[in-house]
Amino acid sequence: MKAREFSFKTIKIWRVGEESGEPYSIIYKAGVSENTVTSFQYYEDLFDIGYKATLVINERGQNLPGTMPIQGFEKVTVELTDYKGDDREYEFRVWKVGNRVEKERSRSYTLGLVSAALLANEGIFVNRVLEGTPTTIVGKLLREYFKVSDVQMKLQESVNSMKIIPASKSPFSIIRDLQAKTISAGAEPKTKTKAEVSSGASTVSSDSPGNVSQAKGTAGFIFYQDFDGFHFKSIDSLVSTSTDKFNGSGPVASYTYQAANVDATDAQNDRKIMEVEFKNEIDLLKKLRQGAYSSLCCFFNINTGKYEEYVYKLSDMWDNMAHLGAQKKLPQGQVTLSQYPTRILSTVVNHENWYNGTDIASNEDSENPGDFTDYQKQYLLQSIARAGILFNQQLTISVTGNLDLRVGNKIEVKIPNQIPHAEKENAGSFDPEHSGIYLIRKITNIFDNRTKECDTVLELIRDSIGYEESNVK
């Protein structure tokens, strides 16, 4: 096959509870029902658990919505062959039927499809004690409630142990709560603080950032599902492009934006950007309101009567983070904005409510903090800001269908420099601001059964600008 070409093999659907037997219907079979399926779109999102898809069906005679009928949670498989000749099989559950139109004994409708785990999660509520590191807890939840094998789990180690009672939360909600509290193995939490403290009926307040302690270390994890399985990884490891302390990896592919060339080889077309859209590149007011540069969080522990304030400054943390762009130093304007908090958060802490033990639940102020220390006071703000600055630069590109790409992968983007040719010798051939390595935030694979072509749309993000050429082909 040529670049972009694909072919469906079969699309099948099963009744709920009959998945081990023969499918209720073969919606599509190559050479038999070529016009039954109009299009198939597959989606992955780094910040949205569970892959999704839509299947547009145009049928005559069978009337699946009426005869089956389709009521949700039916199993659907899509088998196809990509342009390289590789066979792939996608498995989903139906979550909705939409856009149904009846006309002259034919009907068209769209099946909304999601991963089985995403639907199953909605009916699961956890009420038992969960103990261990966040990584250990994530693994236990996936194995017990979703029967996920170890091969399908890519979970990065974390260092902070905890013991929690979720209080009737779904597994994915529990994991979402853990993301901001999870500390990567390279972090070094403080065992004693210098924050302002009070107890009893007295009140402590701080009007000056100089009176609060600074949270240090790196935190912030992302939990997501792609075609290969489930991932629980630190933001720094996703952003890192080398096997440094963050244990990252380099880009998996390189794409170049260039004019159409009828003489181009298939290999050249495979790596050509057909369209590029520059999304919001900076929104200073939004960043300030998010506390991306500096924020303050007030904690009051109702068990101990202790009040503490923690401040986060991006300028203090920038050099300890991994970055995708060539901009290794924080711009002076952002250094200035980091001097005073622009967002204030407050929370009531009640560790004894969830800690199932005889000792103090959270005793990180002591010389021996113990096994179940809650370090969220030190890391919560940094974790929130770490996720926020990932969107400093955003691109959307359309490329030849590439089914090997996954969210969480990094790719190199090359955009030609638009300055006059005479100036390119010193400035370089590629745009120094927008070219470079990006993280794939969202993937949309679009399969058009009428043209037999597949395109891939990639939403890309990164936390800093600047182009550094990589060795990826």
Determine what percent of the chain is predicted with pLDDT higher than 90: 38
Partners of 273 in beta bridges:
257, 399
Whether residue 261 is found in the same domain as residue 404: yes
Domain boundary pick from 120, 149, 171: 120
| Averaged pLDDT score across all residues of the chain | 82
Give domain status of residue 429, yes or no: yes
- Lowest-confidence range among 166-175, 365-374, 427-436? 365-374
Confidence at residue 382, expressed as pLDDT on a 0 to 100 scale: 81
Domain-ending residue, one of 120, 143, 169 = 120
Evaluate whether residue 258 is within a structural domain.
yes
H helix intervals, 374-452: 376-388, 424-427
For residue 60, what pLDDT band results from cuts at 50, 70 and 90? confident
Residue 132 pLDDT > 70: yes
In the Cβ-directed half-sphere of 85, how many Cα atoms lie within 13 Å?
1
Report the pLDDT value the prediction gives residue 353, as an integer from 0 to 100: 55
Question: Is residue 221 included in any domain, yes or no?
Answer: no
Does residue 174 lie within any of the structural domains? no
pLDDT reported for residue 332: 87
Of the candidates 385, 374, 224, the residue with the CA atom closest to the CA atom of residue 320: 385
**Looking at this protein, which amino acid is placed at residue 109?**
Y
Which of the pair, 90 or 366, is modelled with greater confidence? 90
Mean pLDDT of 47-70: 85
Average pLDDT over residues 275-283: 82
pLDDT at residue 352 tops 70: no
Alpha-carbon distance 79 to 371, whole Å? 48
Distance between CA atoms of 82 and 3, rounded to whole angstroms? 9
pLDDT band of 455, cuts 50, 70, 90: very high
Task: Please indicate, yes or no, if residue 300 is contained in any of the structural domains.
Answer: no
Helix, strand, coil % over all residues of the chain, rounded to 5: 20, 35, 45
Strands 130-132 and 106-114 come out as unpaired
Inform me whether the pLDDT recorded for 13 exceeds 90. yes
Split into its structural domains, the chain has a count of 2
Rounded to the nearest 10°, the torsion over CA 402, 407, 408, 413 is 50
Specify if 251 maps to a domain: yes
- Residue 148: the pLDDT is 95
Answer yes or no: is pLDDT of 125 > 80: yes
Q: Is the pLDDT of residue 419 over 80?
A: no
Residue 409, pLDDT > 90, answer yes
pLDDT at position 135 is: 94
CATH number at residue 23: 2.40.10.10
Residue 52 has pLDDT above 90, yes or no: yes
154 is a domain residue: no
Instruction: Look at 195 and 401; give whichever has higher pLDDT.
Output: 401
Q: Check whether residue 278 and residue 427 sit in a common domain.
A: yes
What average pLDDT score do residues 419-439 get? 74
Its pTM stands at: 0.86
Q: Is the pLDDT of residue 207 over 80?
A: no
pLDDT tens digit string along 40-50?
Answer: 999 999 999 99
pLDDT at 189 over 60: no
CA dist., res. 190 & res. 382, Å (int) = 14
Q: Per residue in 248-261, is it b (16+ CB within 10 Å) or e — as a string?
A: beebebbbbbeeee
Burial track 372-383 (b if 16+ CB lie within 10 A, e otherwise):
bbbbbbbbbbbb
Q: Count other C-beta atoms under 10 Å from residue 453's C-beta.
A: 17
Confidence at 195, pLDDT banded by 50, 70, 90? very low
pLDDT confidence band for 77 (50 / 70 / 90): very high
Final residue of a structural domain among 60, 89, 120: 120
For residue 214, pLDDT beyond 80: no
The tens digit of pLDDT for each residue in 377-386 reads: 777 788 888 8
| Distance between CA atoms of residues 103 and 126, nearest Å | 47
Average pLDDT (265-293) is 81
Q: How confident is the model at residue 423 (pLDDT cuts 50, 70, 90)?
A: low
Note down the domain range covering 417.
233-282+390-462
* For residues 414-437, average pLDDT: 75
Q: Could you tell me if residue 413 is inside a domain?
A: yes
Contact status, residue 459 vs residue 396, Cβ threshold 8 Å: yes
* Domain of residue 422, CATH code: 2.40.30.150
